[in-house]
């Protein structure tokens, strides 16, 4: 009996090199293969209100960050299209969320949109960095359910 295969792929990115490698990996593996749809996602972590002294500072941060995110996502989309994805099969998404845990925010996005595969880059944190601040990819691997996770180093 043949199972339905969910061919929707979610790549969670930020502006790091490891995210670029994750997008590049998907491009290399699946570029030109029909039937896959890719969404490149960036979760904007809503900064804590304490981070800004004034409302205008906050507004400026959101504007600057939004522009930077649009540029980054646009570049990633183009990278996938250049590798052979049809432009209509590549979407980009940015979302602003309050994220005590970024991994949980990314997984919540995956859950709501039911992607079969989640792709993330791995930063290669030192042991003590992971201890102090946690690892997004590590937590995703530990806690993801009902999907396949690709961690690209």
Partner 1 sequence: MSEDISQETLHQLALPWLTSLKPGHRFNIFRDTGDYYRIEYGDIVILNNVPYLVRHNAKEGRFGLDDEVKFWVKRAIDLKTGKTKILKLVFYEKFLARVGGIEFECFRSPRKEARILNLVGNHANFMHGFSVPDNQGNIVRIIDLIYGNTLADQVRDMASGMNHETYFYGHFPAILDSFMECVEAIRFLHEHGEKHGDVRRDHIIADRDTGRCRWIDFDYNFQHRENMYGYDLFGLGNVFMYLAGRGDVLIADIIKANSPAALELRDEDMNIVFNNRVANLKKIYPYIPDSLNRILMHFSRGANIFYDNTIQLLDDLNELRSGFAGRQGGIQNGT
Positions that interact with partner 1 (CB under 8 A): 47-51, 53, 100-103, 126-136, 138-139
CB of 69 to partner 1, least distance (A): 16
Nearest residue to 130 (alpha-carbon basis) of 142, 119, 138: 138
CB of 50 to partner 1, least distance (A): 4
CB of 25 to partner 1, least distance (A): 21
Buried b (16+ CB within 10 A) or exposed e, 126-144: eeeeeeeeebbbebbeeeb
Q: Which is nearer to partner 1, 75 or 104 (CB)?
A: 104
Nearest residue to 137 (alpha-carbon basis) of 103, 114, 89: 103
Query: What is the chain's alpha carbon radius of gyration, rounded to the nearest angstrom?
Result: 16
Count Cα neighbours of 106 within 13 Å in the Cβ-side half-sphere: 30
Residues 96 and 92: their CA atoms lie apart, in Å, by 14
Q: Which is nearer to partner 1, 84 or 134 (CB)?
A: 134
Q: Which is nearer to partner 1, 3 or 127 (CB)?
A: 127
Q: Which is nearer to partner 1, 48 or 56 (CB)?
A: 48
CB of 19 to partner 1, least distance (A): 14
CB of 126 to partner 1, least distance (A): 8
Q: Which is nearer to partner 1, 28 or 143 (CB)?
A: 143
Contact 136, 103 (CB under 8 A): yes
């Amino acid at each position: 009996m043949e199972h339905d295969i969910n061919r929707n792929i979610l790549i969670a990115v930020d502006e790091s090199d490891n995210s670029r490698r994750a997008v590049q990996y998907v491009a290399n593996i699946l570029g030109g293969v029909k039937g896959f749809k890719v969404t490149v996602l960036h979760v904007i972590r809503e900064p804590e209100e304490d981070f800004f002294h004034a409302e205008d500072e906050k507004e400026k941060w959101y504007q600057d960050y939004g522009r930077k995110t649009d540029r980054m996502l646009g570049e990633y989309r183009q990278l996938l299209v250049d590798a052979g994805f049809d432009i209509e099969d590549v979407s980009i998404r940015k979302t602003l969320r309050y994220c005590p845990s970024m991994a949980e925010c990314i997984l919540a996005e995956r859950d709501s949109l039911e992607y079969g595969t989640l792709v993330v880059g791995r930063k290669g944190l030192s042991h003590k960095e992971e201890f102090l601040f946690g690892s997004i990819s590590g937590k995703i691997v530990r806690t993801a359910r009902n999907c396949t996770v690709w961690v690209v180093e």
